[in-house]
Amino acid sequence: MRTKMMLGLLVMVTFAGIASAQDAAAGKALFASTCAVCHGADASANTTMGKTLKIPNFHTPEVQKQSDAELTAIITKGKGKVMPAFEGKLTREQMSQLVAYIREVGKQQ
């Protein structure tokens, strides 16, 4: 009985892991086509535009310390004068894929 429960839990955790890896992959493709012009191909904003606009590097703790909800809110509503609001342009699912990708980026120092 116990073993069965543990096994069930293990399967669930494994599937959740696969789902988030898929999300991050979809988010990466979306990021490349929609966000990389400003944020740079590797999300470090290490580009002329990134430096001029003072775009935060997604590899840093300053970005990573924000919650998924906070990051989603910025993507939805935009930030400052330059970061566009993607409300109505991207679906909720696409936004959560982008957040999954931002978390992947955070793991690569």
Please report how many Cα atoms fall inside a 13 Å half-sphere around the Cα of residue 94, on the Cβ side: 15
Cβ pair 105, 58 in contact under 8 A = yes
Smaller CB separation from ligand HEC, 7 or 82: 82
Cβ pair 63, 39 in contact under 8 A = no
Reading the block at residue 34, the tokens are 């929609």
Type and span of the H or E element at 92: helix 92-107
Q: Which of 7, 37, 41, 85 binds ligand HEC (CB under 6 A)?
A: 37
Q: Which of 40, 97, 98, 100 binds ligand HEC (CB under 6 A)?
A: 98
**56 sits near ligand HEC (criterion: CB under 6 A):** yes
Q: Which of 23, 24, 40, 55 binds ligand HEC (CB under 6 A)?
A: 55
Q: Which of 2, 61, 80, 88 binds ligand HEC (CB under 6 A)?
A: 80
Type and span of the H or E element at 72: helix 68-77
Residues that bind ligand HEC (CB under 6 A): 34-35, 37-39, 53, 55-56, 63, 66, 71, 74-75, 79-80, 82-84, 86, 98
